[in-house]
Structure 1
Amino acid sequence: MVENAKSAVNAEEGPVAPSLLKERRVEDAATLKALADPLRLAILDVLLAARESGPLTAKEIAAALDEPQTKLYRHIKQLEKVGLIAVAGTRLVSGIVESRYTVAQTSLRVAPEIFAPGSPIRVDAYDALLAAMDRVRGDFRAHAAADRIDFTTSREAGASGLPGMFTHFTYRLTPERMRRLRRQLDEVFHELSAEGDSEAEDAVEATLFTLLYGVRPEQEADSRTDTRPGTES
């Protein structure tokens, strides 16, 4: 089940923002389906970035994404339905109720058991991961086109630029070495999470996208996934 953030609105006193979860555990198909779209992920990013300045209207979200406002309504409603965002206040504008939205959590974690063999929603989880990949790809393309990314700076030269990094490789590793690699990556993420956002004047937005997976031999994979009723194991 998804914990829906609670919100309240008082027309005279103003909106009362819902409590913000530090991390939401995703373990249901409805939430995974809501996350399986790059535009909905972009809406979450915009609201997360605005959490200090305050809730946003659909019009303000559309402006931040450079998208038509009418295109966002269905996506906003789907995110609200599963509790990923919440209405933090409303007001009457020309006879129409205008809602202001806020994000309900600062991070998301997909429950690992969803990826287990035989899980009925494993495909939904993979769709959510693929949408995240598409989201990163779109952001990277936009920033690169605007010449805001630097892959030329050499860290060995001690330059003061913003050195980007891209690495893609496939190695053969023992299971133990792969588990150790996973632990090493976890340590980096835990360190960054503990530090939190920098408030330094020269701080910049850094994106770190990591995908690590091992591919089982075909024979082993077949034995794990063939869980049909009546199948001998």
Structure 2
Amino acid sequence: MTDHWHPVEDWDGQADIVELRDLKALSEVTHPIRGRLMRRLRVPRSAAALAEVLDVPVTRLYHHLNLLESIGLIRVVATRRVGAATERQYQSIARTFTVAIEPVDQRDRPELAAAFGSLFDVAKLGFQREIELGTYDQTTVYGETSTLSLRELQLSPKRRAELMARLQAVINDYDPEVDGDLSEGERVVLFVAAYPETP
């Protein structure tokens, strides 16, 4: 017999924004599977529901859920009895995470570079997967459904600041209030990287 979901007493709700201030937390959320989990946990979901959404065996998810919970990035927000077992619903502690790591010394730079580099890997693999599945073809990769661009720009400090502000404004304009079930639209992945390049 399956019980109803019961909210936990010490859950105060999801924050709008939480800053990631240490390399360990950044490294965990940039892991491919854990990154996908974090994005789907903007709304409460059980391990079984996550497995269905991500098309991953549920047994593969418990390690990642336990790790994210242990470092405080997700919380158990509700429980219910399913036979003799207790099922848990998880949710990320914030709707949006930003990176605010303090300047690191020389020894930490390789670790920081690897953590950020994994974001590029996740984006690349996701894009390649959709092309292989036939989601995109030559008529849509540069059309209304998707875009891809790699450019080198020569900008003054003023123009660079303007570009950063405009990019952030666009991202904020399309940031969803909740991560729903996509019944009113389709999921679109956005990956943006703009940075000064060493000559």
Give the TM-score normalised by the residue count of structure 2: 0.77
- 2:30 maps to 36
Which of 148, 156, 162 is the matching residue for 1:180?
Answer: 162
Which of 101, 124, 128 is the matching residue for 1:137?
Answer: 124
- 1:20 maps to 14
Could you list the runs of 5+ residues in structure 1 that have no partner in the other structure?
Answer: 1-10, 156-160, 218-233
Q: Shift of the alpha carbon at 1:87?
A: 0.5
Correspondence 1:206 to 2:188? yes
Give 2:33's aligned amino acid.
L
Which of 80, 97, 105 is the matching residue for 2:86?
Answer: 97
The verdict on how the C-alpha distance between 1:23 and 1:149 changes in structure 2, with shifts beyond 3 A counting, is farther
Structure 2 SS opposite 1:22 = strand
The verdict on how the C-alpha distance between 1:191 and 1:60 changes in structure 2, with shifts beyond 3 A counting, is closer
* 1: CA distance, partners of 2:121 / 2:141: 28
Q: Using the TM superposition, name which of 207-216 and 130-139 deviates more.
A: 130-139
- 2:133 maps to 146
Could you list the runs of 5+ residues in structure 2 that have no partner in the other structure?
Answer: none
The verdict on how the C-alpha distance between 1:202 and 1:118 changes in structure 2, with shifts beyond 3 A counting, is same
Structure 1 SS opposite 2:87 = strand
**1:7-39 superposed Cα distances (whole Å, 9 cap, x missing partner):** xxxx99822465111111110233123213111
* 2: CA distance, partners of 1:130 / 1:59: 30
The verdict on how the C-alpha distance between 1:103 and 1:151 changes in structure 2, with shifts beyond 3 A counting, is farther
**1:84-108 superposed Cα distances (whole Å, 9 cap, x missing partner):** 2111122344433332212221111
* 2: CA distance, partners of 1:154 / 1:27: 36
- Asked if the contact 2:5–2:78 (Cα under 8 Å) also holds between the matched residues in 1, the reply is no
The verdict on how the C-alpha distance between 1:12 and 1:93 changes in structure 2, with shifts beyond 3 A counting, is closer
Aligned pair count reads 194
Q: Which one has more relative contact order, counting CA pairs under 8 Å at least 6 apart? A: 2
Instruction: Calculate percent identity across the aligned residue pairs.
Output: 25
* 2: CA distance, partners of 1:183 / 1:202: 29
- Asked if the contact 1:34–1:82 (Cα under 8 Å) also holds between the matched residues in 2, the reply is no
Q: Shift of the alpha carbon at 1:71?
A: 1.8
Q: Shift of the alpha carbon at 1:123?
A: 4.3
Correspondence 1:45 to 2:39? yes
Give the TM-score normalised by the residue count of structure 1: 0.68
* 2: CA distance, partners of 1:126 / 1:211: 14
Structure 2 SS opposite 1:86 = strand
Give 1:26's aligned amino acid.
L
Correspondence 1:106 to 2:95? yes
Give 1:15's aligned amino acid.
P
Q: Shift of the alpha carbon at 1:144?
A: 2.4
Which of 68, 79, 83 is the matching residue for 1:79?
Answer: 68
Which of 38, 46, 58 is the matching residue for 2:47?
Answer: 58
- Tell which structure's C-alpha radius of gyration is larger: 1
